[in-house]
Amino acid sequence: MKSSSMLLNKLLMSLLKNGFKGVILLGVVGICSSLTTAQSLQTYQEKAAQNNPQLRATYFEYLASLEQIAQVGALPDPELSFAWFILPVDTRLGPQQARISYTQMFPWFGSLKDNQTSQSLAAKARFEHFRDTRNQLFYQMEVLWAQLYETSEKLRLANENLEVVNTLVNVSLRKYETGLVPQVDVLRAQIEQEDLKTNIALLEDELDVQKSAFNTLRNVPLDADIRLPSSIDVSGDLFSDEVEFRQRVQSNNPDINRLRLLEEQANSDLEIASNRAKPGFGVGFDYIATGERSDIPALIDNGRDALIARVNIKIPLFRSKNRAAHQQAMNNWSASKERLSDREIELEQLVYRVIRDYEDAQRRYTLYDQQQIQRLEQAVRIMLQSYATDNSDFEEILRLQRKLFEYELQRVKAKTDQKTASAFLNYLSGTHNITPQEINY
């Protein structure tokens, strides 16, 4: 549907063509729709997820944490030592010349599994951090996309309004030249005209800044081409059941899940701290190379090498160190619980506030779209007809036209606010969550 500014401009042009005599209002407006080939926001988001350096860095941190699982679940490296007797030790079977020792230590039973469990939880928390970073990127792009729409719409409305004001300038000039209106009508229209030109220049600069910010998130040149959105979708009932939506946020929000995993890890670390206070075991052997005795060549087993089996025990003798480690793990677990509880409360408040913002934007859009703008359009038409016939107050026409332009801007702002609130609710509820199998870096 053509905008009110375009309709008013048609009306004014009709006034000019008919010399301000009887004017028939346009009752039926042709609907001229043009299909756009604008690239979808989802396409931009998917490409940004591939190229954004911060997101890629977070993903590789997750991959690095996965490699840590195998490391903490492995046995300590065995120890192999070699000793050469500078002064051989004489024995009954001959002089001992060298010793080779091998030792393998084992931690307390279940310690390795506990270590793997803890690191696995840490890796899962890393992935939740990656998902949250990705969802933040998508949210930021949705907000900028809405801002691009808002600014481009404001620019379009300003240009259309400028056309209306340009026509008003022409109308007032013709009437002034015929002595029907004072010069002040022309001056007022020209002042409004210059204000709009300045506003258009500011909007063009703002659009360039927003484009560069959007391209920064995409990790492409700042001046890369963007096909601006001709509309934004705010349809769909995000929270028909607000209780169910809150539950979805609590179960799907990556940051909440990350904190839950960190709490589980802290609980697992308690068991690890307890295992450190338990003894460790080791097994090993020594091989001793023995030379032959030359003074008793007929000696049985002359020069026979020695082989010794050993069992090692690591005794946790310093109990204060182990108690401190256990208390540290306990404090970390308590801190994790408190952080999780605080974040859950914060999310509850955020959801409540953003839902209210969404509903407020929806009410404002309905008010401007279905009431205020329609009434002002009717008032402006009536004033224009009066101005064409009996030279009614031109200042009031400009004031109403300015008010109409302001309401059209407010309608765009309400739609953008609704989209921004919708994007934040999508972010909180993990709408764009992804699984490890879906990543194709």
At 269-286, the pLDDT tens digits run 999 999 888 999 999 999
pTM of the model: 0.82
- Cα angle at 86 between 83 and 92, to 5 degrees? 90
Judge whether 232 lies within some domain. yes
What residues pair up with 94 in beta bridges, in sequence order? 91
The chain-wide mean pLDDT, for the chain, equals 86
What is the edge-to-edge ordering of all strands in the sheet holding 94-106?
79-91, 94-106, 280-290, 306-314
Indicate whether 380 pLDDT > 50: yes
- Tokens of residue 416, six digits: 């953008």
- For every residue of 117-180, DSSP letters joined together read HHHHHHHHHHHHHHHHHHHHHHHHHHHHHHHHHHHHHHHHHHHHHHHHHHHHHHHHHHHHHTTS
Least confident interval from 31-40, 59-68, 90-99, 210-219: 31-40
End-to-end Cα distance, the chain: 44
- For every residue of 218-280, DSSP letters joined together read HTS-TT------S-----S-TTSSHHHHHHHHHHH-HHHHHHHHHHHHHHHHHHHHHHHTS-E
Judge whether 83 lies within some domain. no
pLDDT at position 12 is 52
Count CA atoms within 13 Å of residue 323 on its CB side. Answer: 4
Judge whether 343 lies within some domain. yes
List phi, psi (to 5°) of 281. Answer: -125, 155
Judge whether 226 lies within some domain. yes
Judge whether 361 lies within some domain. yes
Tally of domains within the chain: 1
Judge whether 33 lies within some domain. yes
pLDDT at position 47 is 93
Q: CATH no. for residue 68?
A: 1.20.1600.10
| Segments forming the whole domain that contains residue 228 | 4-74+107-278+316-438
pLDDT at position 142 is 95
Judge whether 92 lies within some domain. no
Judge whether 287 lies within some domain. no
3-state class (DSSP) for residue 427: helix
Indicate whether 338 pLDDT > 60: yes
